[in-house]
């Protein structure tokens, strides 16, 4: 049995409590939140769970094996450090930490303590991304050429991180999961329309080997909500629309071939258009699979899908993106 404490019962905390409570061999024993009204929500919904506003209660509790941290990113490092030093396994919400240095220090500490350190990149556990990964591995798309994502909405403005740190971790982690390689460089541009100087609209580009490219459009100031990713290969292409309820993935048998007689002044292209396939996907909550993955890592020693290396690379790319933003779009090598 894995006994879990949840730190932070704001937007994501209730979902974490529910999923870990419903996971076999798991039990949520404590919830920590600094706001009394949030602790009252816990007691009303889950009367068997103890609540506190003191970290010491979690760290010294004998009925806590693992700590799940769902708090602002600036607090991730000190909370995770304290939990690991207290002998607890740790699961962090994305992004893993506010800096690469902090991420590396947590990885080193977890290694010395022999504890699991994992990051909740929930999209890696969705039926859609799991299916896309399968199609990529089977070579159905051919040679991957690009990933293009749009993740925009009106709100929610953050006060501690810019829009890339808020939204792009989803797409960066998906890219890493699909491409299985590290980008060569990072380029980003964006602007802030608030007094705090945090970009509320930004564009991030990742350059990969073999002319692969990934581009992300992230915004808090769009009049419409769009959650769409294009995954293009030289044989087939996928459109992943996360807002669709039943047809989240469409596989397009479309492509092109540059004819051999093309030259510098003339490009001859042969286009191909085939069928559209809408695969049937299983229905389950991705967060439940993430909870199972964390449980299996802690109790059964299995390597998690969303491990600390995934978390580290996301933070490395976001740090590089910040440097590129400050330099008006200069490419930053990794």
**Residue predicted with more confidence, 197 or 330:** 330
Mean pLDDT of 104-109: 98
For 25, which DSSP code? T
Chain position carrying tokens 């996907």? 281
* Sequence-separated (6 or more) residues with CB below 8 Å from residue 298: 2, 65, 66, 89, 116
Shared domain for 211 and 239, answered yes or no, is yes
pLDDT for 262: 61
Shared domain for 178 and 82, answered yes or no, is no
Number of Cβ within 10 Å of residue 215's Cβ equals 16
| 244 cis-preceded (ω within 30 degrees of 0) | no
- Please indicate, yes or no, if residue 205 is contained in any of the structural domains: yes
* Low-confidence winner among 44-48, 141-145, 270-274 (lowest mean pLDDT): 270-274
Q: How far apart are CA 227 and CA 298, in angstroms?
A: 32
Shared domain for 105 and 223, answered yes or no, is no
Kindly tell me if the per-residue pLDDT of 34 is higher than 90.
yes
Mean pLDDT of 307-329: 97
* Burial classification of residue 226, based on how many CB atoms lie within 10 Å of its CB (0-12 exposed, 13-18 middle, 19 or more buried): middle
- Contact at 8 Å (CB) between 326 and 186? no
* Residue where one domain finishes, among candidates 49, 84, 115: 115
H helix intervals, the chain: 13-21, 36-45, 55-60, 76-85, 100-113, 127-137, 163-179, 286-300, 308-326
pLDDT classification of 130: cutoffs 50, 70, 90: very high
Mean pLDDT of 215-243: 97
pLDDT for 265: 66
pLDDT for 260: 75
| Alpha-carbon torsion (178, 304, 150, 19), positive or negative | positive
Domain that holds residue 177: 124-285+316-333
Q: Which of 226, 233, 227, 210 is nearest to 146 (CA)?
A: 233
* Low-confidence winner among 214-223, 262-271, 277-286 (lowest mean pLDDT): 262-271
CATH number of domain containing 213:
3.30.360.10
pLDDT for 110: 98
Mean pLDDT of 294-301: 98
Shared domain for 108 and 138, answered yes or no, is no
* Residue where one domain finishes, among candidates 115, 139, 158: 115
pTM of this structure: 0.93
Total count of domains within the chain: 2
CATH number of domain containing 59:
3.40.50.720
């Amino acid at each position: 049995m894995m006994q879990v404490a949840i730190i932070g019962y704001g937007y994501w905390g209730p979902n974490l409590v529910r999923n870990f409570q419903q996971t076999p061999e798991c039990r949520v024993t404590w919830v920590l939140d600094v706001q009394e009204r949030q602790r009252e929500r816990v007691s009303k919904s889950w009367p068997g769970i103890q609540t506190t506003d003191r970290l010491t209660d979690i760290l010294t509790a004998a009925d806590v094996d693992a700590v799940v941290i769902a708090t602002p990113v600036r607090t991730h490092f000190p909370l995770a450090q304290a939990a690991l030093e207290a002998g607890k396994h740790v699961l962090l919400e994305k992004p893993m930490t506010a800096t690469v240095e902090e991420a590396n220090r947590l990885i080193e500490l977890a290694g010395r303590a022999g504890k699991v350190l994992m990051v909740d990149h929930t999209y890696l556990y969705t039926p859609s991304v799991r299916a896309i990964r399968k199609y990529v591995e089977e070579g159905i798309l051919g040679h991957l050429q690009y990933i293009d994502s749009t993740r925009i909405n009106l709100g929610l403005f953050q006060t501690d991180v810019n829009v890339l740190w808020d939204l792009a971790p989803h797409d960066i982690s998906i890219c890493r999961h699909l491409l299985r390689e590290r980008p060569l460089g990072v380029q980003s541009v964006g602007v802030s329309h608030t007094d705090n100087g945090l970009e509320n609209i930004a564009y991030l580009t990742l350059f990969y080997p073999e002319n692969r490219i990934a581009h992300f459009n992230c915004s808090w100031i769009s009049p419409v909500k769009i959650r769409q990713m294009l995954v293009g290969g030289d044989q087939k292409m996928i459109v992943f629309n996360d807002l669709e309820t039943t047809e989240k993935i469409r596989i397009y048998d479309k492509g092109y071939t540059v004819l051999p007689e093309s030259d510098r002044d003339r490009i001859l292209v042969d286009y191909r258009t085939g069928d559209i396939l809408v695969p049937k996907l299983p229905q389950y909550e991705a967060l439940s699979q993430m909870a199972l993955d964390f449980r299996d890592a802690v109790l059964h020693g299995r390597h998690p899908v969303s491990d600390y290396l995934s978390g580290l690379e996301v933070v490395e790319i976001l740090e590089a993106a910040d440097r590129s933003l400050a330099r008006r779009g200069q490419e930053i090598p990794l």
